[in-house]
Every structure is written in structure tokens, then in C-alpha cells.
Amino acid sequence: MDIKVRNLSKRDYKDLKTSMEEAYHGLVGDAWTKENIVDLIDIFPEGQIAVEVNGKVVACALSIIIDSTKTNIYDKYYSIIDDGKFDKHDYEGDTMYGIEVFVHPDFRSLRLGRRLYDARKELCEEMNLQRIVAGGRIPNYHNYADSMTPRTYIEKVKRKEIYDPTLTFQLSNDFHVKKVLKNYLPEDTESKEVATLVEWNNIYYEPDSRSGSASKRTIRLGLVQWQMRLFKDLQEFYDQVEFFVDTVSDYGTDFIMFPEFFNTPLMSPYNELPERMAMEKLAEHTKEIIEKIQQFAVSYNVNIIAGSMPLMERGKLYNVSYLCHRNGSLDSYKKVHITPNEMRYYGLVGGNEIKVFDTDCGKIGLLICYDVEFPELGRILADQGMQILFVPFMTDTQNGYIRVRSCAQARAIENECYVAIAGSVGNLPRVNNMDIQYSQSAVFTPSDFAFPNNAIKAEATPNTEMVLIADVDLYALKDLNEYGTVKILRDRRKDLYEVKLLKD
């Protein structure tokens, strides 16, 4: 599945019309005409946002800019849009007015509406607009109209006593109800012609300036310090994974990382087998598990580093980490350095590829546990432009953990990047060789004035199941490389020594 959020183009009209007709089934007005769409793209191309899935537009958000000192935001819908002429659009205005959001019903499980709302918010911030407002239908109100007023209905939706497909979604995306609008859409019988004027305020709005940088500066990381526990079946494991994805993504995270071999509780049914055979049995589930986590990445709009899992390939057993992009694509990394324990018990072999991955939040690297103890790997990734290094790990003792932690912190300093580590905690009594776990997940930074004095951005409570949320500033890395107290990457004596990747 290939998912893209982009600006709508005039050639998308056929897909747009099909998706809108399927979304509304004629419930509220007719589909936008091609002339309407062409006019919107001509007057405000940035504000017409589409979601493309596998080459077809299946969701769309349309908007204009109005000047709230000249246009009454409480007006009826057709007055705001001038019956499709959009004469009230004012590029120098202060308010983005949302005139349409729809998602083809076959794709609603992917939470594409959330992506559209996020794209609108980003555009609002980039253009330094004060707010986003929109008139929102309350399509479930007709089921309660005989027993309660619109105001009571809205309050009950706010308290989650009633679910409304439109208003519940808007409230969950940080909009608040500003006013009840009567006779807003005369043909909207489901809402009894009642709507809510909802508003999202741009807290970064500066009244005397206009436009900002379109590039993403701050990246939010979510690390899952995973409690090892037995699961009765694969579905219970999925439920636990989704719980963390749901929880962490609610904080607006760009990445979620699980620990190394976090799925080994699923080896419990094979505990009577030799360790190698039990690991091979676990590897049989890897493809299905990754497909499920890919679905979570798309649905919750977050990049997921799925810890690591065993993979059988041409008779060899690898320890593999998977990067599930929120656009539906997939990357993987095979652990290069295998510990003596992994070799002795499971016969694991090392991978042969070291590379950075391009994401929608910059270039990242992946290393698994023992790999981070070899400085050459981090330096090769840094030379390829890595900004954030993710290290899922699993250690049983505190001294093993200290090796991983200390080396990870060194990689952050010497490569002028951020390093995030996440491990598992607790114990696993009915899985051989996975008895005990020790972990303190953390995010490390370079060491200079722009970063914490101890070069630790955040760290979890040791040996406790929890999530760690931390923001990292990519611009600070650029400043460090150019203006830092020391310039480690630049000051290397390449005339004297060099680290090379011998196998491309």
C-alpha cells in the first residue's frame, strides 16, 4: 500500500468525484463540480489537500482563507462559499475555513481523516493563520432529536456518552465547539439542519508576521519499555501492541519503537523444543506480525520500529528490525553483530548491509543491541547523513545494559546525532533463555550548549513498563555541525585514518 498526502490537482477530479459520491451517497447536496475544484485550486492551491492510495485519490480536504474582520464566520455554509463562487476567499485573511472533508468509505479504517486534519494544521502554522474554523454536521443527532436539544446532544458527545461520527472525530483532533449553527445546511436531514461551528487555534500565531518554514523541525519519539508477559494467543499479543501504538500516537509522535525480540513470549508453546527449533517456530509468525504492525502504522499515522524478530531466509536465521513507515512502505535491517549467546543457543547469523533510511522526518539509522557497541557502524551511518539512530535492545543483566547504554551515548556524541534506545523489562518464566530482562530506555543527545548538560534528553524509570516521550530538534544538529564548540565530524583526520564500508 502506497499512501501519499499531497495537494489536489485538476486531473484528480474523476477520483475525487467518485470518492465523494461514495462518501455521501447523495445525503448532503451534490458532488463538487469540476469548475468548483478548478476555481479552488486556482485561488488557493495549498489549501486543497488530497490523500492518494495506490495512485488514486480516496480522501480530500478543501478550504479557503477568510478575513474574520470582514466575513461573518457564523454565516450559513452557502453564504460563506458564495454558492460555489468563493468570492470571500482572501489570501491575506487570518482564518482558514474548512469547506469540505470526506473519505471514501472503503478506506475509512486507515484514519485518513486524521492525516487531512494534521495537514491542515501544519499549513495553518506555516502560513501563520490564527485559526481553522469549519461548520460541522452532527449526523447522529436525528436519533436523539425527539429527546434532547442540540446543546444537550453536543455536551453528551463531549463527555463520550454519545458517539457522533463527525463531532467525535473533530473533538478528538483538538477542535472545540464555538457555536451551534441552525439552518446551516437545509438539506441535511440527519443533522436536523443543525451544525456546530468548530475551531482549532494556532498557538504559534504571530499577528504581525506572515508565513513560516515548511520544513519539520521537531520530531517526537515514543519508546515502549515493554513488559515481558505470556500471551494466550497471537491476537492477545496484537492487542497489547495496538494498545501502545494507540496510546503513544495520541501524543502526536512521529516514531514509536519497540524492543529487540519483544515478541519472544510467543515462543512459550514451543518451550519443549530445542532453542533453535523454538526460534524457527517463532520466525514463522514474523511475516504476519509485520503485516499487522504495518496496518497499525498506517491507521495511527506513525512510523513504527517493530523492535526485532527472527527471520528464516534461505536456511539461515537472522535477527531483523523492521521500519514500518506510516505511508505503508516497509524497510528492514538485519543485525550485523551476533552475540555469543545468540550464536550458541539459536545459531543466528549476521546481516551484511549498513544503510540509512529516508523517512518523512529525516534520515534515520537502525542498529540492534550489540551492534551499537561497534563504533564503526554508527560512523558509517553518520557519513550517510543519519540524524536519529534507533537501537532496540534486550539485556538480561545490569552490566549488559550498561554496555549498550554507554556505547549508545558515545555514538550520539561522536556522530553528532540523537540516539534512542528501548528495551524490555520483567521476566519470562516459560521461555528458555529469555528468563530475566533489565532495561532503562533513553534518548541521548550530542554534548554541547544547545543540549542537556548530561547529554540525556530523557530516560525511563528502570525496570518498569512505561512509555517514554521525547522531542528532538533536527535544526539543533545542523547548528551543532556548523557552529558547535567542537566539530567532531568535520575535524576527523581523514589524511590519517578512515572508516570504510567494504561491501555495498
Q: Give me the active site residues, please.
A: 260, 335, 369
Burial class of residue 97, CB neighbours in 10 A (0-12, 13-18, 19+): buried
Are 296 and 224 in contact by the 8 Å Cβ rule? The answer is: no
Question: Cα dist. 176→17, 74, 156, 363 in Å?
Answer: 30, 15, 14, 36
Q: Which three cell numbers stand for residue 309?
A: 524478530
Q: Give the number of C-alpha atoms closer than 13 A to the C-alpha of residue 364, restricted to the C-beta side.
A: 28
Residues with Cβ within 8 Å of 76's Cβ and at least 6 positions away in sequence, in order, are 181, 183, 184
The Cα–Cα gap between 303 and 257 comes to 9
C-alpha torsion angle, residues 381, 383, 387, 388 (rounded to 10): 20
Are 422 and 367 in contact by the 8 Å Cβ rule? The answer is: no
Q: Which of 431, 442, 365 is nearest to 396 (CA)?
A: 431
Q: Hey, which residues does 3 pair with through a beta bridge?
A: 53
Q: Which of 260, 366, 349 is nearest to 303 (CA)?
A: 366
Amino acid sitting at position 488: I
Are 261 and 394 in contact by the 8 Å Cβ rule? The answer is: yes
Residues with Cβ within 8 Å of 274's Cβ and at least 6 positions away in sequence, in order, are none
Amino acid sitting at position 440: Q
Residues with Cβ within 8 Å of 71's Cβ and at least 6 positions away in sequence, in order, are 80, 88, 90, 93
Q: Write the DSSP assignment of 126-188 as a string of letters.
A: HTT-SEEEEEEE-TTGGGTTTTS-HHHHHHHHHTTSS--TTHHHHHHTT-EEEEEEESSSTT-
Q: Which residue has cell 519508546?
A: 223
Look at the alpha carbons of 365, 366, 367, 373 in this order and tell me if their dihedral is positive or negative.
positive
